[in-house]
C-alpha cells in the first residue's frame, strides 16, 4: 500500500504545474550557490566560501542564556501575540531612542518580523498591486525585485554606480515613473556595494517620496556593522520622514543571529499596521522565546558588536592588501562585511565566478545576482571567514593567476 501511495504522489508531482508567478522569478541566489558549493565539495574540492553574508561568530552568550531561560517558560509555548510581544515592541522603541535619538510609539509604530527578508516580501504584498511600479536599486538585495514581480508589480531600476558612490540619482527617475511608483527601496549601509548614505541624501529621498506619494522603505539591516568611526543613520533622523517611511531592521547581522529569524519594522503607523495585518494572515509571528532573547540583545552590552566589527575591519584590510597585490585598486568600505569588486577586464561576472570556483575552489556570487545591469562586471565577497582562510583564498588566486589585469604575454 505504501508503494502505491508513493507511486501516485510521485506521478502527481511529475504532472504538477507551478504557477506563472513562480516561473517569473529565478531560484533564490544563495539556494543555487549552496548547490554549487555542495557539488564542489562532493567532487573533493576544499571550498573557501566567501558567498552568503552569514556572520561566522556565535550569538553572544547573554542572548543565548536569555533564550534558554525563555524556552523553559510555558508562556512561550503558546502562540505569541500578533505584531510582537508588548515587551519586545517596547524594547525596540527604547533601543531606537538610545541608538538614533528619536521616539517611537511601541503600540503603533513597531512590529516584529521573522527577519527583514520576510518583512520586505510582506510589505510588497501589502502595498503593490498588478502593474504598480517599485523603485529598486540596481544592484540590490534580490528580494526587492523578486517579491515585486511576485506581486505583479514592475521594478524600475535605479542604477548604483561607483561614480556616484552607489547612491541613486533621484533626478534621473522620469516623473511619470515616479508618479506611478508605490514603494521606493533604499538600503544603507548597502548590500552588495557596501556604499553608505548621509543625511543629506536621506533628506532628498524623503522629499522625493513625499512629492510623488511613495512609501519609502529603508532597509537598515547593517546599521551596526560599521568601521573607522562611521555611524550609520536611520531614515527617521530626517524630520517628517515618518509621514512616508518605514524602516526594516534585522538582528541577524548585528548580533550574529541569522538562524534565529528575528527583526522589526518601525515608522509610519499606517504602513506598520498594513504590514502587520498581512503578516497576521500569513504567519503567526516570532517564537516568544526568540523575542525574549532579542530583548536581551537590545538591552545587553555592545562589546560583541565592537569585537566583530574589529574582526571584519581586519579582514577587510587584509583583503584590500592582498587584492592590491593582485592588481585591484579598492577603497576601504566604511560598513558591511561585503566588498563589491570589479571582475578582471575581458571577462564577465558569471564566467569569473565560475573560474574562481573551478580553478581556485573559492565561492563568490556574481554581481548579476544582485543587479541585472549594474551588477554585470562585478563580484561580491563576504568577510565571514577567518583571516587565515581568507589569506589562503588570495594565495590560491595568485597561484592560478587570477588577477585584475590579464597577465602580459611573454615576448
Ligand atoms: C546576502 O548574503 O546577500 C544576504 O545576507 C543573504 C540573505 O540574507 O539571504
Is the CB of 117 inside a 6 Å radius of any atom of ligand 1?
A: yes
Cα–Cα nearest to 93, from 278, 272, 238, 302: 272
Average pLDDT over residues 218-227: 98
| Confidence bin at 14 (pLDDT 50/70/90) | low
What is the rounded distance in angstroms from the CA atom of residue 147 to the CA atom of residue 220? Answer: 18
pLDDT digits (tens, 9 = 90+) for 187-212: 999 999 999 999 999 999 999 999 99
| Ligand 1 center from residue 380 Cα (angstroms) | 11
Instruction: Retrieve residue 241's grid coordinates.
Output: 520622514
Contact 254, 284 (CB under 8 A): no
Is the CB of 263 inside a 6 Å radius of any atom of ligand 1?
A: no
pLDDT at 273 over 70: yes
| Ligand 1 center from residue 75 Cα (angstroms) | 32
Is the CB of 30 inside a 6 Å radius of any atom of ligand 1?
A: yes
Number of CB atoms found within 10 A of residue 56's CB: 16
pLDDT digits (tens, 9 = 90+) for 281-321: 999 999 999 999 999 999 999 999 999 999 999 999 999 99
Domain coordinates of the chain in residue numbers? 25-53+303-399, 61-299
Average pLDDT over residues 15-19: 84
| Confidence bin at 7 (pLDDT 50/70/90) | very low
Nearest ligand 1 atom to the CA of 258 is 8
Average pLDDT over residues 369-391: 96
What is the rounded distance in angstroms from the CA atom of residue 365 to the CA atom of residue 127? Answer: 30
| Ligand 1 center from residue 320 Cα (angstroms) | 22
pLDDT at 276 over 50: yes
Tally of helices (H runs) and strands (E runs) in the chain: 14, 11
Of 21-35, 105-119, 369-383, the one with minimum mean pLDDT is: 21-35
Q: Which residue has the higher pLDDT, 31 or 183?
A: 183
Query: Of the residues 29, 33, 54, which should be mutated to test ligand 1's pocket, given the most ligand atoms within 8 Å of the CB?
Result: 54
Query: Of the residues 28, 30, 254, which should be mutated to test ligand 1's pocket, given the most ligand atoms within 8 Å of the CB?
Result: 30
Is the CB of 191 inside a 6 Å radius of any atom of ligand 1?
A: yes
Quick one: pLDDT at residue 13?
Answer: 59
Average pLDDT over residues 213-237: 98
Q: Looking at the domain that runs over 25-53+303-399, which CATH code has it been given? A: 3.90.1150.10
pLDDT at 53 over 90: yes
pLDDT digits (tens, 9 = 90+) for 316-356: 999 999 999 999 999 999 999 999 999 998 999 999 999 99
Q: Looking at the domain that runs over 61-299, which CATH code has it been given? A: 3.40.640.10
Residue 2: which residues within 8 A CB-CB, separation 6 or more?
A: none
Q: CA 181 → CA 168, 215, 217, 280, 406, distances in Å?
A: 15, 9, 12, 26, 43
What is the rounded distance in angstroms from the CA atom of residue 77 to the CA atom of residue 363? Answer: 40
| Ligand 1 center from residue 165 Cα (angstroms) | 21
Tell me, yes or no, if the two domains 25-53+303-399 and 61-299 fold the same way: no
| Ligand 1 center from residue 321 Cα (angstroms) | 25
pLDDT at 6 over 50: no
| Dihedral sign from CA coordinates of 317, 318, 321, 322 | negative
Q: Which helix (H) or strand (E) holds 396?
A: helix 387-399
pLDDT digits (tens, 9 = 90+) for 228-249: 999 999 999 999 999 999 999 9
Is the CB of 52 inside a 6 Å radius of any atom of ligand 1?
A: yes
Distance of CA 156 to the CA centre of its chain: 19
Beta-bridged to residue 217, according to DSSP, are: 185, 246
Residue 261: which residues within 8 A CB-CB, separation 6 or more?
A: 114, 115, 118, 286, 290
What is the rounded distance in angstroms from the CA atom of residue 265 to the CA atom of residue 154? Answer: 24
Amino acid at each position: 500500500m505504501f508503494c502505491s501511495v508513493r507511486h501516485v504522489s510521485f506521478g502527481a508531482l511529475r504532472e504538477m504545474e507551478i504557477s506563472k508567478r513562480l516561473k517569473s522569478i529565478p531560484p533564490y541566489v544563495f539556494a543555487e550557490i549552496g548547490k554549487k558549493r555542495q557539488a564542489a565539495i562532493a567532487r573533493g574540492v576544499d571550498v573557501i566560501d566567501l558567498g552568503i553574508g552569514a556572520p561566522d561568530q556565535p550569538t553572544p552568550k547573554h542572548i543565548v542564556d536569555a533564550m534558554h531561560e525563555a524556552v523553559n517558560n510555558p508562556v512561550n509555548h503558546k502562540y505569541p501575540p500578533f505584531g510582537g510581544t508588548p515587551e519586545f515592541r517596547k524594547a525596540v522603541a527604547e533601543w531606537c531612542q538610545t541608538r538614533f535619538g528619536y521616539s517611537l510609539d511601541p503600540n503603533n509604530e513597531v512590529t516584529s518580523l521573522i527577519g527583514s527578508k520576510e518583512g520586505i516580501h510582506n510589505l510588497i504584498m501589502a502595498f503593490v498591486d498588478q502593474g504598480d511600479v517599485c523603485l529598486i536599486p540596481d544592484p540590490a538585495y534580490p528580494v526587492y525585485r523578486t517579491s515585486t514581480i511576485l506581486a505583479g508589480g514592475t521594478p524600475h531600476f535605479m542604477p548604483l554606480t561607483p561614480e556616484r558612490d552607489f547612491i541613486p540619482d533621484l533626478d534621473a527617475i522620469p516623473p511619470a515613473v515616479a508618479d506611478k511608483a508605490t514603494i521606493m527601496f533604499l538600503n544603507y549601509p548597502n548590500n552588495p556595494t557596501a556604499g553608505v548614505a548621509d543625511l543629506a541624501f536621506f533628506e532628498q529621498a524623503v522629499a522625493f517620496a513625499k512629492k510623488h506619494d511613495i512609501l519609502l522603505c529603508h532597509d537598515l539591516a547593517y546599521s551596526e556593522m560599521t568601521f573607522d568611526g562611521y555611524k550609520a543613520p536611520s531614515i527617521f533622523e530626517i524630520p517628517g520622514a515618518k509621514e512616508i517611511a518605514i524602516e526594516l531592521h534585522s538582528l541577524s547581522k548585528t548580533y550574529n543571529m541569522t538562524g534565529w529569524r528575528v527583526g522589526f519594522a518601525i515608522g509610519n503607523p499606517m504602513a506598520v499596521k498594513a504590514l502587520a495585518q498581512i503578516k497576521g494572515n500569513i504567519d503567526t509571528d516570532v517564537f516568544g522565546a526568540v523575542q525574549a532573547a532579542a530583548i536581551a540583545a537590545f538591552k545587553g552590552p555592545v562589546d560583541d558588536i565592537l569585537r566583530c566589527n574589529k574582526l571584519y575591519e581586519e579582514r577587510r584590510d587584509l583583503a584590500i592588501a592582498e587584492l592590491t597585490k593582485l592588481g585591484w585598486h579598492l577603497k576601504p568600505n566604511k560598513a558591511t562585511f561585503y566588498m563589491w569588486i570589479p571582475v578582471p577586464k575581458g571577462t564577465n561576472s558569471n564566467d569569473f565566478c565560475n573560474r574562481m570556483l573551478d580553478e581556485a575552489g573559492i565561492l563568490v556570487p556574481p554581481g548579476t545576482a544582485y543587479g541585472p545591469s549594474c551588477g554585470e562586471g562585478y563580484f561580491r565577497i563576504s568577510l565571514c571567514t577567518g583571516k587565515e582562510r581568507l589569506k589562503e583564498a588570495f594565495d590560491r588566486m595568485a597561484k592560478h593567476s587570477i588577477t585584475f589585469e590579464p597577465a602580459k604575454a611573454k615576448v
